Amino acid sequence: MEFLDREGIKFSTFSGVEIQKSAEVQVYSQEFYDSSLKPKSGALLDSRMGPANKSGHCTTCHTGYEKCPGHFGYLKLILPVFNTGYFDAIINILKCICKSCARVLLPENERKELLRKMRHLSAADHKSQQWKKIRDKCNKISQCPRCGYINGTVKKDTKNFMTIIQDFSKSNTDKNVEECKSAISHMRDVKTPIRMFHGLNPVRVLELFKRMLDEDCEVLNLSDRPEKLIVTDIAVPPVVIRPSVITDFGAASNENDITARLRKIITANSLLRASLDESSSISKCMDIWSHLQVECALYINSDVRGLPIGASLAKKENGFVQRLNGKQGRFRCNLSGKRVEFTGRTVISPDPNLKITEVAIPILMARVLTYPERVSNHNIEKLRQCVRNGSYKYPGANFVIRPDGTKQNLKFGQRNNIANELRCDYIVERHLEDGDIVLFNRQPSLHRMSIMCHRARIMPWRTLRFNESVCNPYNADFDGDEMNLHVPQTEEARTEAIILMGVQNNLCTPKNGEILVASTQDFLTSSFLITRKDTFYDRSAFCLMCSFMGDGMDPIDLPTPALIKPMELWTGKQLFSVLLRPYAQMKVFVNLTLMEKSYDKRQGRETMCPNDAFVYFRNSDLLCGQLGKATLGNGNKDGLFSVLLRDYNSHAAASCMNRLAKLSARWIGNHGFSIGIDDVQPGHHLNLRKKETIEKSYEKCDNLICSFNKGELVLQPGCNAAQTLESQITGELNKIRQDTADVCMKELHWRNSPLIMSQCGSKGSPINISQMIACVGQQSVGGRRAPDGFIDRTLPHFPKSSKTPSVCFLDQEYDAKGFVANSFYTGLTATEFFFHTMAGREGLVDTAVKTAETGYMSRRLIKSLEDLSTYYDETVRNSSGGIVQLLYGDDGMDPAKMEANEGKPLNFSQLFLKVKATCPARRQDLLCSSEVIKISEDILTKHEDLISAQFKTDLLNFVSNQVTLLRKTRTLLELDENSIANEGSNILEKVAANISGISSKQLQVFLGTCLARYQSKRVEAGAAIGAIGAQSIGEPGTQMTLKTFHFAGVASMNITLGVPRIKEIINATKNISTPIITAILVCDNDVRSARIVKGHIEKTVLGQVAKSIKTILKPIQACVVIKLDLEQIKALHMGITVDSVRQSILSHPRIKLKDSHVLAICADKLRIFSPETDKKKLLFELHHLMTILPNVIVKGISTVERAVINKDKDKYSLLVEGTNLLAVMGTQGVKGCETKSNHIIEVWGTLGIEAARKSIIDEMQYTMKSHGMSIDIRHMNLLADVMTYKGEVLGITRFGLVKMKASVLMLASFEQTASHLFNASVNGRDDKIEGVSECIIMGIPMRLGTGILKVKQRYLLIVNYYLGTFMFLSSNLTSLET
Amino acid sequence: MVELLFEDIFSLTRMDPDGKRFDKVSRIEAKSEQFEMYMQLDVNTEIYPLHVGDKFTMVLAPTLNLDGTPDTGYFTQGGRKTLADKFEYVMHGKLYKIAEESNTGLVEIYVSFGGLLMMLRGDPSNATNFELDQKLFLLMRKV
């Protein structure tokens, strides 16, 4: 492939002359066609601008419709007009220049200084900031320092469309204004204020701009002459981009919007010319001129603001801006997203018999999708047959391309002849065949696993089919989903696709390294049932099932039956061992331990767990444990397939999945698995227990309400009585569902299908079961119980203000607040049903809103991070080479390859288990504890430069943990702790070695594996980690429920979570909805000290600490007397004194009193006098004071709403709702160094940019965690770095993005397309086409991933290989010789 | 001659200590008479019913061949005489874990017979014959 090397794109403006020069024809005529329906010469469809339709002919380049690129025309305007896109720029320039001498309004020395500065700056971003400063400076100067002319303020005339005025009303120095004012003041009935202004019409502006010096232009950040901003001539675009549609067999034509607009401009232009020629009245000419201005503006942007009333009513025709703007505009629809050939789309369906790497393609589709295969000696016979079959018979071919480039369609012509003609170097576009490489995709493509590379399997029927294990990455189900298929057309594309995008190579998500392609649904159910402890198979059944899994292609070694006598029986677990390692030659030894969902951690009986939920694989033998989702399912890191993938390779994992899919599909087909009404019928016992639970809870709720009514309720911290009651009742009612669910899980028979499904994790939860069988539970709307839709009640069926869940009516209990006591089986009552719909609707609305919101968020994230990638020096840089991170994620590791949780590279315990199992000690060279530590330290120090310090300490910690276990065993067996006796000498020694001995071989293998694997986990150079990071954050966003609040330790203290919170963080919002400061206390084990600090932080007003505030009116004086409640102050340790109160009163913004007016009389009394001397007003003044004084803040931080004491494991801390981190940190008793805020902008302002970066990372991580989503910290790091690397916190919004990115095309393809383009041309911006968006727009490969390198290669030196007797030896170097 | 790894007479003390979870399999608790070993064992009670108070001999052997040749792991056809002939219930499995009890100094031996587990707890001296990853035959006979 060849791509033009482009230096970049430079944006500039065209002058009228330039437009004329580049044009082929002047356009002046209003009619389109002449009398013979031919395009009229000099009209808008002039054939010199290119042919109008396929039959047309270009009279400039004399070519047809296909070849002619189109030619421009021009349209001369009689009088110049403003260009809407440049209008703001024109006003800004006018603000800076003298309207008399056209020089910059700056004094000479300052001008020179600024010019120097402007030339010095290189970044476009800095230049425009500098230019803004200059503009503001000039705005303040009214008198020109050169000619002395007094300039008025330049502004838009708000009354007229696109007119500029110079307002003199404020420049008082002008005598004319005074004169005018005095003259007008003598007139009667004139009350309007005088406006003195001059219009600045385009002609005048053009003349001013022409006189500007080039140097001045430079100061004003103009790359070109400013007169080019004013339209004197219009370039008429070629006909091809505004095609006219002929209707009625050529009788009439529909013209394009652009053509129509141009015609209107021509009309207005000729009217203007006529009126000028006829010397009509000035006002008439001006009217026509302004009409021309309107038409020209609409031509560019039909949405232009401030249109005169008449014009805006007209039919909307698209201008150029509309063509570019928005999702359907040129940038986003045609330039950033391109249409492709060789694609297909149809409904999908499952097929467990396919491999996970395969996709079944219907023959129908395979006949259309072709691959151009080059004919060689190896495939010529196959391709000849394809050609003979033609395009209608599969496997055939559609086209043959000869070496001279001619293309032969196989629908016509003698196919046999063509087949015989076939030689090497012919290319045959043959139908898709088995094993071809295709890309498979499902929208919405939220992460990179939404498009993966499969191998084709051509099958009959009409759907695309694939293994259910691959549903997860696509998020597909089979309820009518459709998916897309693409066929890469070159060998290079195929190789890249299969290696980078192949299903096998994308089993793990780079979000956190969890496995994504794994068994689902039925596969889990059948594995669960097969591995039950009491499944036994006799020889025939066991052999049958062994043959299920491999299609009879693999050899299978039958294991010894677990039961030999009284009869031969194999267990299901043995079947699984066979599945993992079917034959002895297979070198796959899986070792892992896992806890399934139902494992009881409290008992801690490991393998002897009575539920059989502890899974233990040892050397590919399933020793115990019933397999479920934790072992086989997706979304974990220590499951079976993850271990296979990490310890062996993707092929091992994939083939194991294939075997499991086949086995379970066939097994469950024979076994049968279904659900019926009896599965959801509660037993008698269950009913009793349910009734019991509900009654108990109702009683508790009634008691709560009772104590609330009496006012005896114990308040929760930070809540009032009603809130406490509500939260306690809610808690109680929510517990019912949970309790009944537990009862269900216990009481149901083990063969109950929903129970099985929920136990193995294939579908459904205990709560779902409980809803079907026992009790639907509390319905919540907006996070609380059903709201009151009527006065003081939810529905008119209930008594007013009833809060209880048990309202009695006709011997039945109904809940007034949305608790549904019935199950779906028993059926809901009318009111219950209504409450259920309320909750249901909320969910629906939520999902609808969520998709739009998260979609936009993902788009912004991608746009801001798309061009970041790693380089060979391990740095992360953007497309222009700016460093964002010096080492990716601080350790250069690939998140997709991380094995342990929380982004740690290796799961040591699993690896150690494997090493011990696969490399048995055999009682040789056993190490004693001190030796183990010494050896490992030695080895690690030797390889220190290869591993990170963190990894080293982690590994050493692990080793020392193992050593303590070793020591423990030896002490228990009463052996010497530090030395090992000679072999065989002691019986106990032997036992100890079996229990926890470590041989030196084992240790070496373990450490060696750790080191080697660590090396293989580095991130590859060129990886587009920016895009991956953006997807990893954006994709989980779609799964979050939108409106979730969460209690920060204390009830009542809500913090925003979910999508809104993520939005706040990445937007760098200035006012977040729930700012909370977490203050760590110096003395964190005492409630009293916490209370004191709380008192200091929370705002206290005077009214709260004053005993009384009274007005005292005495004959001599009138004043307000404040008496403080000293006892209360002391009890609360407020530290408020009369003096501090006096100071607070004096500094209150609304009380304007002087020092002398506020007097402290004694320790608890203050006297306040009013400065008012007029006695009539004095009383009012004092009253006024009386209303303000109780609200004067005497202690605490005004921006703090409240503070709540939080108790966490005997440690007290304060949660402060509100802002002002600095003040909280400065409060006595608060540990400033450990105090945190969730308000990122405030952290930035208070603690600086690094602190802001850290808090972005922490807040993102916290938000994601509280939704149960784990995202690798490296992605957050990258996001935070991008948001802060410019030295300020930039949001991922259109405003922040402008400061982050230099490329005009990229910004234009994001938002505000037109304004970015206009600004770019005014400032003469340069786009170097480096980033991803730009490269896509220009259609050149981006410098990312495999494009990071360019191959330098001399064509002639390529060696030609001939197929001959010595295929590779007979290579001749003819080309070298030539 | 076969070298037996362990042989003792047990008496069944309890059935299903954690409640009956599986239809065909029960977990039995048993105490040995000679070595005072404690055993938990999953037994397929559908084909070999056991009851509390039953006494049985339990033998652990590395092979069923009477001459003591190691077990090949392959099925041998033909009704040759084996050790199993004398017993009523025979299982084949793998020793996967030897552990010490946290405070008593006793040793626990864990064997899995294709998912049917055995835990044998007793004095360390009885554990000397056992090794990790050993293939074992468990043979039982009621007395």
CATH number (domain holding residue A694): 1.10.132.30
Question: Which residue is listed with tokens 């946290």?
Answer: B102
Residue A1345 falls inside a structural domain: no
How far is B33 from chain A, CA to nearest CA, in Å?
A: 23
Neighboring chain B residues of A572 at a CB cutoff of 8 Å: 115
- Report ipTM (2 d.p.): 0.95
User: In this complex, do A917 and B98 lie within 8 Å of one another by their Cβ atoms?
Assistant: no
- Shortest Cα distance from B69 to chain A (angstroms)? 16
Calculate how close chain A gets to B120, using CA atoms only, in Å: 12
Q: Does A1363 touch chain B (CB under 8 A)?
A: no
Using a CB-CB cut-off of 8 Å, the residues of chain B touching A531 are: 115
Extract the tokens encoding A1237: 């805020």
A403 and A463 part of one domain: yes
Q: Please tell me the distance in Å from A932's CA to the nearest CA on chain B.
A: 20
- B-chain residues near A567 (CB < 8 A): 47
Largest CA distance in chain B: 49
Residues A300 and A361 in one domain: no
Query: Residue A566: is the preceding peptide bond cis (ω within 30°)?
Result: yes
Single out the residue in A468, A501, A534 at which a domain terminates: A501
Angle of CA points A692, A698, A703, to nearest 5°:
125
Number of alpha carbons in the 13 Å side-chain half-sphere of residue A347:
7
| Tokens found for residue A665 | 């599909």
How far is A1258 from A1276, CA to CA, in rounded Å?
8
Partners of A1213 in beta bridges: A1080, A1206
Q: Where are the beta strands (DSSP E) in A864-1012?
A: 869-870, 876-877, 883-885
A812 and A712 in a single domain? The answer is yes
User: Sign of the C-alpha dihedral, residues A619, A620, A621, A626?
Assistant: positive
**What per-residue confidence (pLDDT) applies to B72?**
74
Chain A CB within 8 Å of residue B89 CB: yes
* Cβ within 8 Å, pair A610-B19: yes
In angstroms, the Cα distances linking A960 to A47, A837, A957, A964, A1150 are: 87, 58, 5, 6, 67
Find where tokens 């690094």 sit: A1250
* Residue contact A567–B97, C-beta within 8 A: no
Size of interface A-B (CB pairs under 8 A): 137
Q: Are residues A999 and A1088 in the same domain?
A: no
Q: Is residue A558 less than 8 Å (CB to CB) from chain B?
A: yes
pLDDT computed for residue A933 by the predictor: 87
Q: Are the beta carbons of A790 and A796 closer than 8 angstroms?
A: yes
Cis ω before A395 (30° cut-off from 0): yes
Interface-testing mutation among B22, B82, B85, with chain A (most A C-beta atoms within 10 A): B22
Q: Does A711 touch chain B (CB under 8 A)?
A: no
Burial group, residue A684, by CB count within 10 angstroms (0-12, 13-18, 19+): exposed
- The helix/strand/coil state of B90 is strand
A802 and A688 within one domain:
yes
Last residue of a domain, one of A985, A1000, A1016: A1016
The C-alpha atoms of residue A1117 and residue A1112 are separated, in whole angstroms, by 8
Nearest to A565 among B24, B87, B117 (CB): B87
A1340: in domain: no
pLDDT above 90 covers a percentage of chain B that reads: 13
Are the C-beta atoms of residues A332 and A473 closer than 8 Å to each other?
no
Return d(Cα A13, Cα A1336) in angstroms, integer. Answer: 25
DSSP A774: T
Letter string b/e over residues A16-36, b meaning 16 or more CB atoms within 10 A of that residue's CB: beebbeebbbebbbeebeeee
Is A971 a domain residue? yes
Tell me if chain A has a CB within 8 Å of the CB of B56: no
Same domain for A155 and A200: yes
| Residue A792 belongs to a domain | yes
- Spatial contact of A771 and A823, defined as CB atoms under 8 Å apart: yes
Q: Does the beta-carbon distance from A621 to B125 stay under 8 Å? A: no
| CA-wise closest residue to A1014 among A879, A1108, A1157, A904 | A904
Contact at CB, A618 and B84, closer than 8 angstroms: no
Instruction: Round to whole Å and give the CA distance between A30 and A124.
Output: 43
- The answer to whether residue A1274 is domain-embedded is no
pTM of the model: 0.89
In chain B, what are the domains?
6-142 (2.40.50.140)
Q: Does A490 share its domain with A375?
A: yes
What residue in B sits closest to A611 (Cα-Cα)?
B21
Determine the distance from the C-alpha atom of residue A1282 to the mean position of all C-alpha atoms in its chain, rounded to a whole number: 14
> Is A788 domain-assigned?
yes
Q: Give CA–CA dist A7/A13, Å, rounded.
A: 19
Residues A714 and A766 grouped into a single domain:
yes
- List chain A residues with pLDDT less than 50: 1-2, 1049, 1366-1378
So what's the pLDDT on residue A1206? 81
Please choose, from the candidates A1078, A1073, A1070, the residue with its C-alpha nearest in 3D space to the C-alpha of residue A1058. A1073
Enumerate residues 6+ apart whose C-beta is below 8 A from A210: A225, A227
Contact across the interface for B115 and A972, Cβ inside 8 Å:
no
The two tokens of residue A1124 are 């403080």
Q: φ and ψ at A1261, to 5 degrees? A: -60, -45
A964 phi/psi in degrees, rounded to 5: -65, -35
In this prediction, residue A846 carries a pLDDT of 83
Does the beta carbon of A623 lie under 8 angstroms from any beta carbon of chain B? yes
Domain region containing A638: 521-665
A1054 domain residue, yes or no? no
Residues of chain A found within 8 Å of residue B117, distances taken between Cβ atoms: 607-608, 623-624
Which CATH number does the domain housing residue A301 bear?
4.10.860.120
Task: State which H helix or E strand residue A969 sits in.
Answer: helix A949-972
A599 shares its domain with A656: yes
Domain termination residue (choose one: A622, A642, A665) = A665
Q: CA of B131, closest CA in chain A: separation in Å? A: 7
Please judge whether A562 and B22 are an interchain contact, meaning their C-beta atoms are less than 8 angstroms apart.
Answer: no
Q: Among B73, B103, B128, select the one facing A560 at the smallest CB separation.
A: B73
Determine whether the interchain pair B89/A565 forms a contact, defined as Cβ–Cβ distance below 8 Å: yes
Same domain (yes/no): A63, A151? no
Same domain, A272 and A168: no
Cα→Cα distances A378→A388, A428, A1063, A1173, A1366, Å: 18, 14, 57, 112, 16
Q: What is the identity of the amino acid at A1304?
A: V
CA-based nearest distance A364→chain B, Å: 49
Check residue A1372 and give its pLDDT.
47
Separation between Cα atoms, residue A417 and residue A645, nearest integer Å: 51
Report the DSSP pairing between strands A1165-1169 and A1076-1080.
unpaired
Q: Per the domain annotation, does A857 fall within a domain? A: no
Residues on chain B touching A571 (C-beta within 8 angstroms) = 113-116
User: Taking the CB of residue A530, how many other CB atoms lie within 10 A of it?
Assistant: 24
Using the Cβ of B91 and the Cβ atoms of chain A, whether some distance falls under 8 Å is answered with: yes
Q: Which of A857, A803, A718 is nearest to A1205 (CA)?
A: A718
**What CATH number should be reported for the domain holding residue A632?**
1.10.274.100
Question: Per residue in A1323-1342, pLDDT tens?
Answer: 888 888 888 999 899 888 88
Q: Tell whether B15 is within 8 A of chain A (Cβ).
A: no
In which residue are the tokens 């909370």 written? A1076
Spatial contact of A1167 and A1119, defined as CB atoms under 8 Å apart: yes
- Beta strand ranges found along A772-915 (DSSP E): 777-778, 780-781, 784-785, 807-809, 812-814, 819-820, 869-870, 876-877, 883-885
Q: Does B70 touch chain A (CB under 8 A)?
A: no
CB contact under 8 A, B107 and A991: yes
- CA A762 to chain B, closest CA, distance in angstroms equals 21
Residue in this structure with the two tokens 């006529």, named with its chain if needed: A274
Residues A1142 and A1182 reside in one and the same domain: yes
Q: How far is A918 from chain B (nearest CA, A)?
A: 10
d(CA A1204, CA A1098): 9
Which amino acid is it at A302? Answer: S
Q: What is the pLDDT of residue A692?
A: 87
pLDDT of A344:
94
- Of A533, A560, A556, A532, nearest to A545 by C-alpha is A556
d(CA A966, CA A996): 6
Q: Which of B84, B96, B119 sits opposite A616 (nearest CB)?
A: B96
- Residues constituting chain A: 1378
| Residue in the structure block whose two tokens are 């801001």 | A864
Number of domains in chain A: 8
Contacts B96 to A, Cβ<8 Å:
607, 616, 618, 621, 623
In angstroms, rounded to a whole number, what is the distance separating the alpha carbons of residues A1042 and A876?
33
Residues paired with residue A1211 on neighbouring β-strands, in sequence order: A1208
Residue located via tokens 């303020």: A153
**Does A188 contact B at CB distance below 8 Å?**
no
User: Which own/partner pairs from A641-644 qualify as long-range (CB within 8 Å, at least 24 positions apart)?
Assistant: A641/A507, A641/A515, A641/A517, A641/A518, A641/A519, A642/A508, A642/A514, A642/A515, A642/A899, A643/A590, A643/A591, A643/A592, A643/A617, A643/A910, A644/A588, A644/A590
Q: Number of helices and strands (H, E) in chain A?
A: 48, 47
Q: Which of A511, A71, A569, A792 shows the shortest CA–CA distance to B46?
A: A569
**Spacing of C-alpha A741 from chain mean position:** 36
